[in-house]
């Protein structure tokens, strides 16, 4: 509930202290995956793939290989725990 208090000629709204946590429970535990370099290597592979389109096909090929490998590794890391 808000109460109005007058301080130094100014009115201010203050929240009255009350306990709204009645009936709350602790959140369920969640398992968070370990950090991974896979998203960064996937981004690098995509960047190389696009850079190779503008320059030379071997760069695109390397980018495609890097993107596929990192995507497979990332999916493997996420599904390994299930």
Query: pTM for this structure?
Result: 0.60
Q: Is the pLDDT of residue 6 over 80?
A: no
With 90 as the cut, is the pLDDT of residue 68 above it? Answer: yes
Residue that wins the pLDDT comparison between 1 and 29: 29
Residue 7 reports pLDDT greater than 90: no
Residue 77 β-bridge partners: none
Dihedral sign, Cα of residue 56, residue 60, residue 66, residue 67? positive
For residue 80, CA distances in Å to 5, 13, 31, 39 come to 58, 53, 13, 17
Comparing CA positions, the residue from 30, 29, 33, 28 lying closest to residue 80 is 33
Whole-number Å distance between alpha carbons of 19 and 14: 15
Question: What are the residue ranges spanned by the domains of the chain?
Answer: 42-82
Could you report the per-residue pLDDT of 15-65, keeping only the tens digit for each?
555 667 777 888 888 887 788 899 999 999 999 999 999 999 999 999 999
């Amino acid at each position: 509930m808000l109460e109005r208090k007058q301080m130094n000629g100014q009115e201010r709204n203050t929240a009255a202290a009350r306990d709204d946590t009645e009936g709350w429970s602790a959140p369920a535990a969640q398992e968070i995956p370990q950090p991974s370099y896979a998203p960064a290597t996937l981004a690098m592979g995509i960047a190389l793939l696009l850079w190779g389109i503008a320059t030379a096909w071997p760069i695109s090929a390397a980018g495609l290989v890097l993107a596929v490998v990192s995507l497979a590794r990332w999916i493997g890391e996420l599904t390994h725990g299930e």
